[in-house]
Structure 1
Amino acid sequence: MNHAPQLRIPAVYMRGGTSKGVFFQLDDLPEAARVPGPARDALLMRVIGSPDPYGKHTDGMGGATSSTSKCVIISKSSKPDHDVDYLYGQVSIDTAFVDWSGNCGNLSSAVGPFAIAHDLIDAGRVPDSGSCTVRIWQANIGKTIVSHVPVTNGEVQETGDFELDGVTFPAAEIQLEFIDPSDDGEGGGSMFPTGNLVDTLDVPGVGTFDATMINAGIPTIFLRAADLGYTGAELQGAINEDKAALAKFEAIRAAGAVRMGLIGDVTEAAKRQHTPKVALVAPPVEHVTSSGKALGAGDVDLLVRALSMGKLHHAMMGTASVAIATAAAIPGTLVSEAAGGGERTEVVFGHPSGTLRVGAEARQVGGQWTVTKAIMSRSARVLMEGQVRVPADAMQGH
């Protein structure tokens, strides 16, 4: 009996923000996987170790959570005035599916360092010491991200004293600018696809809720935590160990996706697991974070709890942070309401692991709200580099 050998594919395992994933250069992938399609999806699923009915990713590089089941493909940019194209795949854990519908804001912070380290940036633009600006084309959603990467002695600086709640160790700070982050390519063609800052969302079998549905950073449905019986200070176990609650949130997500014009029918939601996100917002209350740190009501402007891939996130997705910053800057949204109302250019919110400061520049043009950019700080670090091995028959039949 013949056994297929293993392919050896150059790859880098990187942490970006509170996520981590396997990074590839496009030209290093097997030829069949250099273009979108079943062969690429099959390869990336095998790299991660999906689908895994055990939910452990024992036979792959994934970490069996939404934050760690990710792949990134980087190439020289096809767009003028950009350095690299960045394509992101969210790999489902227990089903044979790769979701290409959105971006990962956390892993966005690792793209600039990867590009510099792999000579995808003109050497003349990389200072001996200082900050290197990398212009990234986010190919999933067709948006620009500007990354400011610290450089020391001509190389990416990875260590430092910047602390990010949800990440155990400090590292070097990377500032990200999400340019024109409102996603006007989907839904109703505007930041608020329904045209309203707050809608009444009817979810059959679950209830009727006020909701702010926004396309900024990533399509997100914001709900008042209190309307669903929560305080907004919940940690992962309070929701992730409650199957009835998870089913309720998935029904809300599906109904919101239809209302936002992202899908035509709720039955399509299973094939669009990455977007939209569902998030609960609440005014600050004193509580203890997942690390055991006490968080006072005066330490943040509001509390936010967000679900990703069907589970409460341990911290906050970077793209959802963009949505939070944008909605907080616009009076009348549920996010602004939870933060105390009024106009603001930045907000500090509490998540299960701690706090995060994000900023956004929003303004009204012709009666329509628009946001020019959202800003946040993250960090990134190479965890391992070399070659990932995948059975040669992983793409068989594709």
Structure 2
Amino acid sequence: MAFPPQIRIPATYMRGGTSKGVFFRLQDLPPAARQPGPARDALLLRVIGSPDPYGKQIDGMGGATSSTSKTVILSRSERPGHDVDYLFGQVSIDTAFVDWSGNCGNLSAAVGAFAIASGLVDAARVPRDGTCTVRIWQANIGKTIVAHVPMAGGEVQETGDFELDGVTFPAAEVQLEFLDPADEGEGEGGGAMFPTGNLVDDLEVPGVGTFKATLINAGIPTIFVNAADIGYTGSELQDALNGDAEALRRFETIRAHGAVRMGLVASPEEAARRQHTPKVAFVAPPTDYLASSGKAVAAGDIDLRVRALSMGKLHHAMMGTAAVAIGTAAAIPGTLVNLAAGGGERSAVRFGHPSGTLRVGAEARQAGGQWTVTKAIMSRSARVLMEGWVRVPGDTLPTT
């Protein structure tokens, strides 16, 4: 029996923030995968090595965690005032599913560098030295991200002394601005940042309980709850949750019912088919704790502690989009995030996560009883890990 040979596709494997993913130029994908649909999803699943019932993604580029099961497709933007269109696909590990419902804030840090190196940014706009400002259209959520990418000798500068907790080695700093990060989709609150119209709601979750929650659409839809209300301290590391199947089931139940309350899905069952959004996070006031690396985090160095789940597991650090949600909620007096940080008005917050700390700023204002955020700002780093071609079996894509 004859088997089709593998096909090879130009690709780059990059780290962005505390995530890794496979980056493609749209023009380099096989024709059948240049449009959204089953062929594109099938290709990306095979590239990453999903679905894998063993949960290891051994036969693909994925790293068997939500942070390393990611794909990015970029193309020159036809949208005025933008350089590149950025599409993010979160690949499920154990099911045949690619979630296109949200952004990856961490990989956003690598988009500008990849766009410059791949010739997707007009050469006249790329300085030989200094900083290249790349305006990115985030196609999943319809938002603008501005990346400030360091340049040296006509090439992207990747090495440097910027340290990011959750990443072992230092690199060059990339500053990101998430413009108008609040979701403007329809919800109970008429498309407001807070879809229920409230800064804090009583969220009833059958089989779990009723507790206070801040439901916010900023960066990525996020459900914030108080750690103490659900039986946690706020200093937990991954092992405390990810080996506890019952705890993860409870968090998924919270996520599903929160998604319904936010108007993202019609039923809890539908939430299971939308794994990437919303996120669930729990917050607590500052206290001393040990990060996963053994590093001591002092209460005086942070404003609050936050733990967040992604794709059903506690994240090892913090998702970039969730960091935007944290910074936004912290800037608005009365949210659970703001109260955990001590209350009052603030333009920036430093929070403790399982791998250390992160600072994020947000510009919030209230007009006509509605809160808006003009932008959120944070720094990340990015680096090319490997470039060339990724290969997949020739029968991955349809022949017609």
- Tell whether the structures are fold-level matches, with TM greater than 0.5: yes
Match of 1:47 in 2: 47
| Distance (whole Å) between structure 2 residues aligned to residue 186 and residue 110 of structure 1 | 30
- What stretches of structure 2 of length at least 5 have no aligned partner? none
Q: Which one-letter code corresponds to 2:278 in the other structure? A: P
Match of 2:341 in 1: 339
Aligned pairs for 1:287-298 (under 5 A) are 287-298=289-300
Shift of 1:3: 0.2
| Distance (whole Å) between structure 1 residues aligned to residue 78 and residue 4 of structure 2 | 35
For 2:237, which of 212, 231, 235 is the aligned residue? 235
Match of 1:138 in 2: 138
| Distance (whole Å) between structure 2 residues aligned to residue 262 and residue 118 of structure 1 | 35
Shift of 1:41: 0.3
Q: TM-score, structure 2 length as denominator? A: 0.99
| Distance (whole Å) between structure 2 residues aligned to residue 396 and residue 95 of structure 1 | 20
Aligned pairs for 1:82-231 (under 5 A) are 82-188=82-188, 189-231=191-233
| Helix, strand or coil at the partner of 1:341 | coil
| Distance (whole Å) between structure 2 residues aligned to residue 133 and residue 187 of structure 1 | 34
Shift of 1:190: 1.1
| Helix, strand or coil at the partner of 1:268 | helix
| Helix, strand or coil at the partner of 1:327 | helix
Aligned pairs for 1:249-268 (under 5 A) are 249-268=251-270
For 1:321, which of 298, 320, 323 is the aligned residue? 323
| Helix, strand or coil at the partner of 2:87 | strand
| Distance (whole Å) between structure 1 residues aligned to residue 342 and residue 361 of structure 2 | 16
| Distance (whole Å) between structure 2 residues aligned to residue 175 and residue 296 of structure 1 | 25
Q: How many residues align?
A: 398
Shift of 1:397: 7.7
Shift of 1:185: 1.9
Shift of 1:127: 1.2
Deviation string 1:208-237 (CA, Å, 9 cap, x unpaired) is 110000000000000000001111000000
Shift of 1:187: 3.0
| Distance (whole Å) between structure 2 residues aligned to residue 229 and residue 134 of structure 1 | 43
| Distance (whole Å) between structure 1 residues aligned to residue 318 and residue 171 of structure 2 | 18
Match of 1:60 in 2: 60
| Helix, strand or coil at the partner of 1:255 | helix
Shift of 1:119: 1.2
Shift of 1:299: 1.1
Q: Which one-letter code corresponds to 1:131 in the other structure? A: T
| Helix, strand or coil at the partner of 1:392 | coil
Question: After the TM superposition, which segments of 4 or more aligned residues of structure 1 sit over 3 Å from their partners?
Answer: none
Deviation string 1:103-138 (CA, Å, 9 cap, x unpaired) is 000000000000110111111211111000000000
| Distance (whole Å) between structure 1 residues aligned to residue 187 and residue 13 of structure 2 | 34
Shift of 1:238: 0.3
| Distance (whole Å) between structure 2 residues aligned to residue 64 and residue 258 of structure 1 | 28
Q: Which one-letter code corresponds to 2:328 in the other structure? A: T
Q: Which one-letter code corresponds to 1:53 in the other structure? A: P
- What stretches of structure 1 of length at least 5 have no aligned partner? none
Deviation string 1:167-211 (CA, Å, 9 cap, x unpaired) is 000000000000000011243411000000000000011111100
Could you say if the C-alpha distance between residues 71 and 186 of structure 1 is closer, same or farther in structure 2, counting changes exceeding 3 Å?
farther
Match of 1:356 in 2: 358
Deviation string 1:86-117 (CA, Å, 9 cap, x unpaired) is 00000000000000000000000000000110
Deviation string 1:229-279 (CA, Å, 9 cap, x unpaired) is 111000000011111110000000000000000000011011100000000
Match of 2:273 in 1: 271
Match of 2:18 in 1: 18
Q: Which one-letter code corresponds to 2:377 in the other structure? A: I
Q: Does 1:311 align with 2:326?
A: no
| Distance (whole Å) between structure 2 residues aligned to residue 331 and residue 392 of structure 1 | 55
Q: Does 1:70 align with 2:70?
A: yes
Q: Which one-letter code corresponds to 2:157 in the other structure? A: Q
Q: Which one-letter code corresponds to 1:161 in the other structure? A: D
Q: Does 1:373 align with 2:375?
A: yes
| Helix, strand or coil at the partner of 1:336 | helix
| Distance (whole Å) between structure 2 residues aligned to residue 97 and residue 397 of structure 1 | 21
Deviation string 1:40-71 (CA, Å, 9 cap, x unpaired) is 00000000000000000100000000000000
| Helix, strand or coil at the partner of 1:93 | coil
| Distance (whole Å) between structure 1 residues aligned to residue 384 and residue 129 of structure 2 | 19
| Helix, strand or coil at the partner of 2:107 | helix
| Helix, strand or coil at the partner of 1:169 | coil
| Distance (whole Å) between structure 2 residues aligned to residue 227 and residue 346 of structure 1 | 25
| Distance (whole Å) between structure 2 residues aligned to residue 186 and residue 68 of structure 1 | 31
| Distance (whole Å) between structure 2 residues aligned to residue 208 and residue 37 of structure 1 | 39
Could you say if the C-alpha distance between residues 397 and 215 of structure 1 is closer, same or farther in structure 2, counting changes exceeding 3 Å?
farther
Q: Which one-letter code corresponds to 2:341 in the other structure? A: A
| Distance (whole Å) between structure 1 residues aligned to residue 67 and residue 2 of structure 2 | 37
